[in-house]
Structure formats: structure tokens, C-alpha cells
Structure 1
Amino acid sequence: MVLQQLAAQSLAPTACTTIEEVGSTGVGALTITFLILAVSTIIFITRVGPATSQKVYYYCNVFICGLATMSYFAMLSGQGWTAVAGCRQFFYARYVDWTITTALIILELGLIAGAEPALIGGVMGADVIMIVGGYLGTVSIVTTVKWFWFVISMALFVVVLYALAVNFRDSALQKGNDRADVYGRLAWLTIVSWIFYPVVWLFSDGFASFSVSFEVCAYSILDIASKAIFGFMVMSAHGILETGTTMNQEYV
């Protein structure tokens, strides 16, 4: 009976005559973010060669910012989007980006913390399912199904945040106070910025309260913080990541 009701609700909606698309402000945000991520990628690439034990972190940063750059280029080029229920423009390209880059961020944090490979893999898996749940919630036509996917995604989000704040932190403490301090700064930047992603989702893809341009601007700021700034913080901590000694450099 329930399945029949859902099937009835999921009949194709009336075709959109107009679609709410990103405006000039949103396009400007996409352009600025693309440039910041592209320049960051180039800088990280130049640091891979001379790096020693930090090379793995720089590779992670290259792929994180590089994939995000490709995502923003696709959105700027008019690719990677479709119309969803409510005749709203939805950039699915960013979900392709997030599925890979957020897992890489977790991998990098796990490596910095010295966490067990099994734990890192488990958290990465939960993160991927979390992103997929958010995507399925956005493209769902039935309201009940949309919020079902959102709840699943948020349940896994709590698991990911707990692992970053507690499990990985415990591993970092075993590597010494200096390594733990570096991890703590990176982890809290990640946690705080990531908390705002579902908030933006709620008022854009969820309730459709935010305009598409405002949504794009908000995600752009969060992507810059969680990817580019994150990468430069890792790069500025190369002294501790290489030798475990006290870091003398200031954060970029």
C-alpha cells in the first residue's frame, strides 16, 4: 500500500516552462572559485617535486583542488546540471566532485593523524554514502523520499564528524602534541565548514528558500575553505609532517 502511494506521487510533474537558473552573482562566484582552486592546484603541484615524506599530502591536495577545479569549470561551461522538482537548476557536477574530494580529505586527515587504515577506509565509505544520499534526496520527486534520503545522509554525517573529532584525534595524540595540534586545526576547519553544507542544502534543495545564485555563492565559500585553505594549512605545516618537530612557519 505504501509503495503504491509513493508510486502515485512520483508521476512525472508538469513540464517546466521556465527554470530558475544561476544569475550573474552566482556566475561571478563560480568564476572566482574556479580561479582560486586552479591557482591552488598549480601551487600544490609545484610543491610535490621537492617534498619528501610530505609528498603524499601534497598529492592529496593536488587531486582535491584539481577535481574541484574541473567541477567548477564544468558548471561555468553550462555542463553538469539538470532541472529538478520545482523547476530549479541543480548542479550535479558538485556531487561528483564531493564524492571524491571529501573522501580524499578524510584520507589526508587520517594519514596526518596516523589512524588505522581500516578506520580511515570505514570513514571514507560512510562519507561516500553520505554524499550519495544527499544527491538522491535532491533529485527525488516525492517529498517523503527526499527527506528519507536526507535523514540517512545526516546519520552518516554524524558518524563521519565523530570519527574526525574523536577517533582520528585520539590517533593524532599518540603521535605527539605537535602533530595533534596540526591535526586539530585541520580537523576543526573541516568540521566547521562541513557543518554548513547540510544547512545550505536544507534551504536550497530542501525547502527551496535560497535562490540558486545564493546557493552557489554559499557552496563556493565553503569549497574554498574546505579545499584550498585546508591545502595551504597542510603545506604550511610541512615541518611537523616531515620531522615531528615544532612548526615555526605561520599559516598561510
Structure 2
Amino acid sequence: MEDVMETVSLFQYSLVYNAFSFTFATMAAATLFLWLGRSQVSPNYKTAVTISGLVCAIAAYHYWRIFESWEAAYIVKDGAIAVSGYAFNDAYRYVDWLLTVPLLLIELVLVMRLSREETVSKSVKLGSAAALMIVLGYPGEIATDIPTRALWGTLSAIPFLYIVWELFSGLGASIERQPESVRELVKKARLLTFASWGFYPIVYMAPYANISGASAETAIQIGYTIADLVAKAVVGVLIWLIAVRKSEAEAEKA
């Protein structure tokens, strides 16, 4: 990471700096919105919305720490960038993902209100696969050579493919049993989850495309940040909207 720090430009530093700041604010705002919005959903969906807010709260904390680490790693003086001597700690991301990625899948399962047995089964399977995916991806993220990065990236892709299969095959029949007013929203939440998660491997493979040094670091930080915004804040609001509509539909039937 030290070589990257030595070659980062002022533009690259500012771009990443502002992206981290914006994401922290967005995650914090999404947390408040989701937790305050719990009052608009029935008790059946409060847990799903609470977990959505928790995901954004955890992400907000870690983005604040990432922001502080990025700021501490560099000294901006007279329009130039110098290394401060403190290494940028990107491990915060993987700590965040280890906590939030399983919860992202669990909130989607909970808002569908499946049977107790199916909810527990799918939550355990998807949550475990998500945690395994993150654990396997980390050694490749910190690797200094492409073969090692590729090896761990390939291993991490195995639970990722299982999750994709579960989202589109395992949950497919369950989605069709959802109320018509939310069926398309659930499909959109599932698609956004897949699309944002599919963006992570693309960013992970940035060094494969002959992008190195500061360019690779900038691409990785911005790419992961965009994916986080979609997977957590945007999907979280969708979960809340699904919960609201299902609550209304069930109230009309009562």
C-alpha cells in the first residue's frame, strides 16, 4: 500500500475522500430513515426494517473509520500530496462486510414473511454462505501478486454463485406467492442485491486489467463504495417500501 500512497494524485485523493464522506452521510441518513420508519410497518416486518437500519448503521461507522484512515494516511500541503507515515487501513471494509453481508440476505428473507422453518433454513444457509464468501475473499484482497489474488477470488466465487442460485431459484417460488402489490418490488430488491454484489468481483479484478498503483487503488475504493451504497442504502429503502405495502395489504384483508 505504501507505493500506492507515494503516487496518489491530489485529484485521486479528493475523489476518494469525498466519496467516503458522502457515503458516511448517506448511510447515517438511511439508518435514521429506516429506524424512524418502523412505525409505519406492522409488527410482522419490524425486524426486517430494523435489520436494514442496522446494516446502514454498521456501514456508517465503518465508513467514518475508513474516512479517518484515508485522511490520516496523507498530508495535503500547497496543493500536493505527501505520505504521512500512517498506512491506510482498508481492512475496515472486510470487517464491515463480514457483519453486513449476511444481514443483507436475512433482511430480504424476513420481509418475504415465509414459514418459520423456511425463514430459519434460508437465513442460516444464505448468511453462512455470505460470511464464507467474505472470509475467502480477504486473503486475495491483501495479496501482493495476481495469482494469489486470483486463487482466493475464485474460491470466494463458489459461495457467491450458491447465493445467486438461491436468490433466483430458491426464492423464485416464494416471490410468486407474495402479494401482487409488492411482487415486482421484491424482484427489484433481489435484482439490485445481485447487481450490486456482482459489481464487487469486477472491482476485485481491477488489478487484472493492468491497472496498478494509485489508479487501481482509486478504482477499487470508488467501485466498492458505489456497490455499498446500492446494496445497503438503496436496497434498505426498498425493503422498507415492501414492508409498508405488505402491511397495508394485510390490514385491508383483516
Bin of the TM-score, shorter chain as denominator length: 0.7 to 0.9
Within the candidate set 163, 175, 178, 2:166 is matched to: 163
Q: TM-score, length-normalised on structure 1?
A: 0.79
- Once the two structures are TM-superposed, the CA of residue 50 in structure 1 deviates from its matched residue by 5.0
- Once the two structures are TM-superposed, the CA of residue 41 in structure 1 deviates from its matched residue by 0.8
**1:123 corresponds to 2:114:** no
**1:67 counterpart letter in structure 2:** I
SS at structure 2 position matched to 1:77: helix
Partner residue, 2:53: 62
Which ranges of structure 2 fall in alignment gaps of 5 or more residues?
74-86
Q: Does the CA-based 8 Å contact 2:16-2:221 persist in structure 1?
A: yes
Which ranges of structure 1 fall in alignment gaps of 5 or more residues?
1-14, 83-87, 247-252
Q: Does the CA-based 8 Å contact 1:140-1:146 persist in structure 2?
A: yes
Within the candidate set 221, 226, 232, 1:221 is matched to: 226
Within the candidate set 32, 56, 61, 1:42 is matched to: 32
- Once the two structures are TM-superposed, the CA of residue 217 in structure 1 deviates from its matched residue by 1.7
Q: Does the CA-based 8 Å contact 1:193-1:222 persist in structure 2?
A: yes
- Cα gap change, 1:110 to 1:207, in 2 (>3 Å): farther
Within the candidate set 139, 159, 162, 1:136 is matched to: 139
- Cα gap change, 1:44 to 1:239, in 2 (>3 Å): closer
1:10-21 equivalences under 5 Å are 19=6
Q: Could you list the per-position Cα deviations for residues 88-135 of structure 1 after superposition, in whole angstroms to 9, with x for gaps in the alignment?
A: 956110111111111111001112332442122111111111011111
Count of residues in correspondence between the two structures: 228
Q: Could you list the per-position Cα deviations for residues 40-65 of structure 1 after superposition, in whole angstroms to 9, with x for gaps in the alignment?
A: 11111212345423211211111110
Q: TM-score, length-normalised on structure 2?
A: 0.78
What is the alpha-carbon root mean square deviation over aligned residues? 3.0
- Cα gap change, 1:204 to 1:50, in 2 (>3 Å): same
Flag the structure with more relative contact order, 1 or 2, with Cα contacts below 8 A and sequence separation at least 6. 2
Aligned sequence identity (%): 21
Within the candidate set 218, 228, 244, 1:239 is matched to: 244
**1:24 corresponds to 2:27:** no
Partner residue, 1:97: 96
Q: Does the CA-based 8 Å contact 1:137-1:149 persist in structure 2?
A: yes
